[in-house]
Chain A
Amino acid sequence: MSETRAAPDAVFLIHGLGGTQYDLGSMHKRLKNAGFVTHSLTLPGHGTTPEDLASVRAEDWVDAVVGKYREIRDEHPRLHLMGMCMGALLAAVLAEKESHAKGNLVLLAPPVYIDGWATPWYRGLRPLLYHVPGLKHMKIEEEDPFGIKNEQLRAIVKAKFERGENFHYRWVPLECLRQVDRLRAIVMSRAAKIRCPTLVVHAREDELTSLRSANFLVEKIGGARARMVVLEDSYHMICVDNDREIVAKNVLEFFGAALPGATSALANDPRMTTEELAAAVAVIVSRLAEGDVAGLRELAIPDVAWVQPGHNRVAGAHAGKTFAAFAERFRQAGAPRFTAFGTPVFNRGVGLLPATLAATHDGRSLSSQGALLFAFHGGKLLEARWFADDVQQDDAFFGPPEAPDSGAAQLETAFEAATAASKMLTKAPDNTTLLDLYALFKQAGSGDASGERPGMMDVVGRAKFDAWTKRKGMPRDDAMRAYIALVEKLRAAE
């Protein structure tokens, strides 16, 4: 299917100082959901220990992003740039240096000025300290509020720091701030030469850099090309804080992206020809004819939704993490298969075809006629809907929904609570336990492992994938119970 389709558009995401892709929250996933390919890199001096930042110069970061940009530039019809914090400064320099015109530019909380309300009183002494011998390695620490206004999220971040998780450096060397200051100076001098459409997203209460930074950039780039979104309920880490949905919505709209859901897909360019759509629907139909609803995830965006009508134990809108649970319940309800497919019709990323849902369970059989609707974008399934002609027939076969306080519902609630509790652990579990937690969580949330095994260089990703694969075949409820038990054990040990 993908071989016949044009290369999708892409977004190049650049993380912030001392950070990782965690800085960008769920933007990777959201962009993938919208049909984009995402590219990212780990900036020099990052992903290891803060000491490594002391020898990195601003030019090293610029060279790294320019190198990556040139590597991926010709792979996509459009390539957007997006950076968070220092990554935004780098994205701005990159756009100017490469005369970027192949896509848009998004600058998230760019720190052109380090003048936010929580910056310490001695911030102005930095330039003097740069010239004091022996202070190059002085630790400049990150402290409350960690760029996050939401108390719950902040508690999670603090717990991560206390566990020693390597998602963000707790401190950076003074020399590194000097390089950021040099980068800020470069951005100030070159911002006026940026020629691509630019979106600046900035929080009014950003504790690190005030709105002055966003105003400066919009003014320099020019109102005709640049626009600004001001957030009212976040601090610096806007991709994970209270306004993250607003950030995502504005970014996706700015990139002209399709949002998950058939309605949205109809309103946007599906980036697929009718032939590509027909081929994609054919693959889906073959899976459904085998009763493999769970397998649709391989052909879909991470938040794919299945909408099943009626008032029965498989009815409802099942999206994202609940999709796997639905697929498992659906399979256990008499291994239903779709058969007797009619002639499909296609229109702007949507395929509609008559079908019959057939199943046998406990001596009862179902043969429900209706239609299947599939919404696609960029070759990925966004949403599938089953429209039964006689919904009562489906209800009678599948039976009433589980009571909310039934064992299954209680298990779901306990699993959600354990997931939340796992983020509040103060002691970092050892690597083996972390892998167990990951594997059980994925098995419970997404079912059997799917997708490609990460390469040799991605040691962590590979270990996680292998741990997940070892749980293959484990029923979802068992995975949830094992996960809950493991979290309880870890909490008891604290």
Chain B
Amino acid sequence: MPLVPVLTALIVAIAYFALGALSGALSHIETAAWTVWLASGLVFGLLLACDKRRWPAILVGAFLGAAVFDWSLSRPVSEAIGYGAIEVITAVAGAMLADKIGGHPLRLASPQDLVALLAGALVLSIIGALLATSWQYASGGLGMAVVFRVWTLGNVLGAVLVAPLIVAWAAFRPRRSGGLPMRTFLGGAIAFMLFVGCLQYLFSADVQARFHGSVGESLTYVPFVFFAIVALLWGVRGATLATVIGALLAIIHTVRGRGPFAGTEGFLGEAALEVQAYIFAISLTGLLIATLAATQRVAAARARDWQTRFEATIAAHRLLAYEWDPAGGALVVTGDAGPLLGVAPDKLGTLADWLARVAPADRDVVAARFGERGAAGGAGDTLRYSMQGPAGAPIVVSDEARAIVDHDGSLHRVVGIVRVIAAGAEAARA
């Protein structure tokens, strides 16, 4: 029997059991309702992050972990097996939907990935809740609505807490250089400590005693600020880690009757429901900020790549490109102007800057031609004239201009390509 799948299944089963036990410890003391079912997030996350060839081993581990855990609660073997089967079915259903939307493996690098994760978590939870409720009904149990609610909320919360953590950290590769630098890490670390400190302060005592009126409830928004900074600086990995730690803190205190949500119980289990909503909001906020920031980074990298390719091409051809706004007068020069003209492109911000480098003998002609280009647009033209090159040496350039017109034919910009066709002594003779 191959060792790796067996080991994988065994590790998953043990981890499942451990997270199940932890979830049990986090159940609401007064109602005994499970606030979060972390184990479902484990299986869901592993299916999203790992190669599909490893799915069978993961699912076997999940089945074993779930069945043994259920059996350890003194439930009949048939129920334990049924529970294990529900875990496998729901995890596969959720993962397949997430795969369809976000691809495989999931990377949490775009809003679409986030949608995939949430859709998978919802489907996983609802299917599981339906199956569990049906089982309960078939067994002659009562309180179907409560079972449905507890199962759905506990699972969806577990899935959005643990699965992103696994998905984000599965892509982690240690690096010699690159990645999150120390300065950014320290900034995030300060925000993280403030986030955890705030949560601890808010949730660790009776808010009525610590704060007056509804101040305690209002202050639950404060950790969001620090959490947002953590998500921005640390990215998806840091956000998911901070979410889990913050969630555990909030749940532990709440289920023990402390913190802003434990004060009054309008209905049985209200505190548990409120803390679930709070954690869901934190998790979603962190993931949203981190994935949007990742999307921005990817877009910036693509833009930089495009710019680099464009600049490499025109530099290899020893060309300059310009864009002139006849209405505003602004001139934008792109290309390696240093070696060609002896001046940085940002020193050529207006047509006047450009004309100042044109040889005096040609300046009037060039200015007039630009005037014509700006007034009429037209099909474009080519002009040759002398300019001041590097170190003041004369150069001769070919300036090919074209007009960009808008939808009604009005001139929008004049764009041109400038090629140096003679330099040094040859240009002087020309």
Q: Which residues of A contact B (CB under 8 A)?
A: 116-123, 138-145, 147, 151-152, 154-155, 172, 174, 177, 207-208, 236, 311, 401, 404-405, 413, 416-417, 419-421, 424
A413–B318 contact, CB under 8 A? yes
A151 to B10, CA, bound (A): 48
Q: If the complex has contacts A119-B181, A119-B182, A152-B312, are A141 and B174 also in contact, measured as CB distance less than 8 A?
A: yes
User: Any chain A CB within 8 A of the CB of B205?
Assistant: no
Given A120, A139, A419, which contacts B181 in the complex, CB threshold below 8 Å? A120
A416–B316 contact, CB under 8 A? yes
B177–A207 contact, CB under 8 A? yes
A121–B317 contact, CB under 8 A? no
Q: Which residues of B contact A (CB under 8 A)?
A: 173-186, 304-305, 307-309, 311-313, 315-318, 398, 421-422, 425-426, 429
B174–A140 contact, CB under 8 A? yes
Residue of A nearest to B301 (CB): A144
Residue of B nearest to A418 (CB): B316
B309–A155 contact, CB under 8 A? yes
A152–B315 contact, CB under 8 A? yes
A177–B316 contact, CB under 8 A? no
Q: If the complex has contacts A123-B182, A151-B304, are A140 and B317 also in contact, measured as CB distance less than 8 A?
A: no
A118 to B183, CA, bound (A): 9
A80 to B191, CA, bound (A): 51
Residue of A nearest to B315 (CB): A152
B177–A120 contact, CB under 8 A? yes
Given contacts A121-B185, A141-B175, A152-B315, 5 further A-B contacts (CB under 8 A): A120-B177, A120-B178, A143-B177, A208-B176, A404-B421
Q: Please name all residues of chain B whose beta carbon is closer than 8 Å to the beta carbon of A208 when the two chains form the complex.
A: 176-177
B313–A417 contact, CB under 8 A? yes
A311–B175 contact, CB under 8 A? no
A401–B177 contact, CB under 8 A? no
Q: If the complex has contacts A121-B180, A121-B182, A208-B176, are A417 and B304 also in contact, measured as CB distance less than 8 A?
A: no
A172–B178 contact, CB under 8 A? no
Q: Please name all residues of chain A whose beta carbon is closer than 8 Å to the beta carbon of B421 when the two chains form the complex.
A: 404-405
B395 to chain A, nearest CB (A): 11
A177–B176 contact, CB under 8 A? yes
A155–B305 contact, CB under 8 A? yes
Q: If the complex has contacts A155-B305, A417-B316, A420-B312, are A118 and B177 also in contact, measured as CB distance less than 8 A?
A: yes
Q: If the complex has contacts A141-B173, A141-B175, A404-B422, are A120 and B180 also in contact, measured as CB distance less than 8 A?
A: yes
A142–B174 contact, CB under 8 A? no
A152 to B182, CA, bound (A): 26
Top 9 closest pairs, chain A to chain B, by CB: A143-B178, A121-B185, A420-B316, A417-B316, A404-B421, A120-B179, A118-B177, A155-B308, A151-B308
A454 to B394, CA, bound (A): 46
Q: If the complex has contacts A142-B178, A143-B179, are A311 and B425 also in contact, measured as CB distance less than 8 A?
A: yes
B314 to chain A, nearest CB (A): 10
A318 to B184, CA, bound (A): 51
Of the A-B pairs whose beta carbons lie under 8 Å apart in the complex, a sample of 8, sorted by A's number, is A117-B181, A120-B175, A122-B174, A151-B308, A404-B421, A404-B422, A419-B316, A424-B312
